[in-house]
Amino acid sequence: MATRFQFELASPEKLLVSKKVVLATVPSEKGIYGVLAGHAAMITSIKPGVVEVYENDDTNVTERYFVEDGFAEVTPSRFTVLVEKAVPTAGLDRLALEAELAEIEKEAAAAIEEDEHARIAIRRDTILSKLAAIG
């Protein structure tokens, strides 16, 4: 049996996951990385994307969460992910996301200020990431 370690995923609203797992993967600024028991200590920033939890083995995903910006801390025995927002990918609604994307596109067309365009681009990228997460 694979060695397990403590994994926690939390947002300001609540602790979503706190359990022993075999593997967890997260989206970071430098790409997706996985953590197994005994991983070297590190701290990374998290970007919007999917956290995958492998509770029983390193081949079968048992839980998937879409997360927005945050940080991850890895020690040899614990992996903690703290994010702004997190929702199970099963809870993402494709039609609602597509409608939100259409609204964002209208806002982008009407935007005048450069900082407004930047804020809209961030929101658009997050919606596109959510859509990619549900396939």
Q: pLDDT digit string (tens) for 49-69?
A: 999 999 998 899 999 999 999
Domain spanning 5-89: CATH superfamily: F0F1 ATP synthase delta/epsilon subunit, N-terminal (2.60.15.10)
Distance between CA 40 and CA 43 in Å, rounded? 10
63-85 per-residue burial string, b: 16 or more CB within 10 A, e: under 16: bbbbbbebebebbeeebbbbbee
Q: Which band of pLDDT confidence, cut at 50, 70 and 90, is reported for residue 1?
A: low
> pLDDT tens for residues 82-121?
999 999 999 999 999 999 999 999 888 888 888 888 888 8
Rg (CA), the chain: 16
> pLDDT tens for residues 20-49?
999 999 999 889 999 999 999 999 999 999
* Domain(s) of CATH 2.60.15.10: residues in the chain: 5-89
pTM reported for the whole predicted model = 0.85
